[in-house]
Chains A and B, each alone.
Chain A
Amino acid sequence: MATMSEADSKSLLVEYGLPVLPEQSVRTIVEAVAAADSVGYPCVMKLSGDRIAHKTERNLVRLSIGTAAQARDAAGELLSAATPDDGEVTLLVAPMVSSSREFIVGAQRSSEFGPVVMVGIGGIFAEALEDVAFRMLPASTDDAYAMLGDLRTGALLDAFRGEPAVDRACLVGVIESVSAAMIARPDIVAIDINPVLIHNGTPVAVDALVELA
Chain B
Amino acid sequence: MSADLQPLFEPRGVVVAGASTHPGKFGFATLHNILTCGYEGQVFATNRSATPDNPVEILGIDCLPSVRDVPQGQADLVYVCVPAPAVPDVLRDASAVGIRAAFIASAGFGEGGDEAGAAIGAELAAIAAELDLAIAGPNGQGLVSTPASLCAQFVAPWPKRGGISIVSQSGNLASGAMNHADAGGVGVARAVSAGNSLCLDVDDYLAWFGADEATQSIIAYVEGVADARRFYDVLAQTARAKPVVVVKGGSSSEGAKAAASHTGSLATDDRIFDGLLRQAGAWRARDIGAAFGAAAALGVHGHMRGPNVAVLTNAGGWGVLTADALEPSLVDLMVLPDDLHAQLDAIMPPRWSASNPVDVAGGETRETIPAALRVLAEHDQVDAVLLLGLGIQSNTASLFRAGRFANDPDIERICAFHERQDRLYAQSVVDVSAETGTPILAATELAIADPANPGPATLRANGHPCYASPSDAVDALSALYARGRFLGALR
- Chain B 230-264 interface residues, beta-carbon cutoff 8 Å to A: 232
Q: Does B66 contact A (CB under 8 A)?
A: no
Contacts of A125 in B (CB 8 A): none
Give min CB distance, B489 to chain A, whole Å: 14
Tally of chain A residues near chain B (CB < 8 A): 15
Asked if residues B229 and A134 are in contact (CB atoms below 8 Å), the reply is: no
- A146-B268 Cα distance, complex, nearest whole Å: 22
Tally of chain B residues near chain A (CB < 8 A): 13
Q: Which residue of B lies closest to A108 (CB)?
A: B272
Q: Which of B185-193, B273-281, B383-391 contacts A (4 or more CB under 8 A)?
A: B273-281
- A38-B276 Cα distance, complex, nearest whole Å: 46
Contacts of A112 in B (CB 8 A): 228, 266, 268-269, 272
Q: Does A13 contact B (CB under 8 A)?
A: no
Q: If the complex has contacts A110-B269, A112-B268, are A147 and B275 also in contact, measured as CB distance less than 8 A?
A: yes
Q: Which of A135-143, A158-166, A187-195 contacts B (4 or more CB under 8 A)?
A: A135-143
Q: Which residue of A lies closest to B227 (CB)?
A: A112
Q: Does A31 contact B (CB under 8 A)?
A: no
Q: Does B22 contact A (CB under 8 A)?
A: no
Q: If the complex has contacts A112-B268, A113-B272, A132-B271, are A146 and B229 also in contact, measured as CB distance less than 8 A?
A: no
* Residue in A110, A114, A132, A139 whose CB lies within 8 Å of B279: A139
Give min CB distance, A191 to chain B, whole Å: 15
Q: Does A207 contact B (CB under 8 A)?
A: no
Q: Which residue of B lies closest to A113 (CB)?
A: B228
Q: If the complex has contacts A134-B272, A134-B274, are A143 and B229 also in contact, measured as CB distance less than 8 A?
A: no
Q: Does A97 contact B (CB under 8 A)?
A: no
Contacts of A146 in B (CB 8 A): 278-279
A29-49 near B? 1/0 per residue, CB < 8 Å: 000000000000000000000
- A168-B103 Cα distance, complex, nearest whole Å: 51
- A133-B269 Cα distance, complex, nearest whole Å: 12
- A113-B272 Cα distance, complex, nearest whole Å: 8
Q: Does A167 contact B (CB under 8 A)?
A: no
Give min CB distance, B223 to chain A, whole Å: 14
Contacts of B266 in A (CB 8 A): 112
A-B residue pairs in contact (CB < 8 Å), sample of 8 = A113-B232, A134-B271, A134-B274, A135-B276, A135-B278, A146-B278, A150-B275, A150-B278
Contacts of B271 in A (CB 8 A): 132-134
A113-B272, A116-B272, A134-B272 are known contacts; what are 7 more A-B pairs with Cβ within 8 Å? A113-B229, A113-B269, A113-B276, A132-B271, A133-B271, A133-B275, A135-B276
Asked if residues A135 and B279 are in contact (CB atoms below 8 Å), the reply is: yes
List the 10 closest pairs (A to B, CB-CB), nearest first.
A134-B275, A134-B272, A113-B228, A135-B275, A135-B279, A112-B228, A114-B229, A113-B272, A143-B279, A136-B232
Give min CB distance, B277 to chain A, whole Å: 10
Q: Which residue of A lies closest to B231 (CB)?
A: A113
Give min CB distance, A181 to chain B, whole Å: 19
- Chain A 141-160 interface residues, beta-carbon cutoff 8 Å to B: 143, 146-147, 150
- Chain B 274-320 interface residues, beta-carbon cutoff 8 Å to A: 274-276, 278-279
Give min CB distance, A110 to chain B, whole Å: 7
Give min CB distance, B35 to chain A, whole Å: 44
Q: Which residue of B lies closest to A120 (CB)?
A: B271
Asked if residues A116 and B229 are in contact (CB atoms below 8 Å), the reply is: no
- A112-B275 Cα distance, complex, nearest whole Å: 14
- A162-B279 Cα distance, complex, nearest whole Å: 34
Contacts of B274 in A (CB 8 A): 134
Contacts of B232 in A (CB 8 A): 113, 136
Contacts of B269 in A (CB 8 A): 110, 112-113, 134
Give min CB distance, B238 to chain A, whole Å: 16
- A132-B272 Cα distance, complex, nearest whole Å: 9
Contacts of A136 in B (CB 8 A): 229, 232, 275-276, 279
Contacts of A113 in B (CB 8 A): 228-229, 232, 269, 272, 276
- A181-B232 Cα distance, complex, nearest whole Å: 22
Give min CB distance, A2 to chain B, whole Å: 24
Contacts of A110 in B (CB 8 A): 269, 272
- A143-B268 Cα distance, complex, nearest whole Å: 21
- A146-B132 Cα distance, complex, nearest whole Å: 42
- A110-B276 Cα distance, complex, nearest whole Å: 13
Q: Which residue of A lies closest to B224 (CB)?
A: A112
Give min CB distance, B17 to chain A, whole Å: 36
Give min CB distance, A126 to chain B, whole Å: 14
Q: Which residue of B lies closest to A112 (CB)?
A: B228
- A118-B301 Cα distance, complex, nearest whole Å: 34
- A150-B276 Cα distance, complex, nearest whole Å: 12
Contacts of B275 in A (CB 8 A): 116, 133-136, 147, 150
- A136-B229 Cα distance, complex, nearest whole Å: 9
Contacts of B278 in A (CB 8 A): 135, 146, 150
Asked if residues A114 and B272 are in contact (CB atoms below 8 Å), the reply is: no
Give min CB distance, B386 to chain A, whole Å: 24
A110, A116, A134, A150, most chain B CB atoms within 10 A: A134
Q: Which residue of A lies closest to B279 (CB)?
A: A135
Q: Which residue of A lies closest to B330 (CB)?
A: A149
Contacts of A114 in B (CB 8 A): 228-229
- Chain A 102-118 interface residues, beta-carbon cutoff 8 Å to B: 110, 112-114, 116
Q: Which residue of B lies closest to A143 (CB)?
A: B279
Q: Which residue of B lies closest to A133 (CB)?
A: B275
Contacts of A143 in B (CB 8 A): 279
- A87-B272 Cα distance, complex, nearest whole Å: 36
- A146-B275 Cα distance, complex, nearest whole Å: 10
Q: Which residue of B lies closest to A149 (CB)?
A: B278
Contacts of A139 in B (CB 8 A): 279
Q: Which residue of B lies closest to A115 (CB)?
A: B229
- A147-B232 Cα distance, complex, nearest whole Å: 17
A110, A116, A136, most chain B CB atoms within 10 A: A136
A66-96 near B? 1/0 per residue, CB < 8 Å: 0000000000000000000000000000000
A112, A114, A147, most chain B CB atoms within 10 A: A112
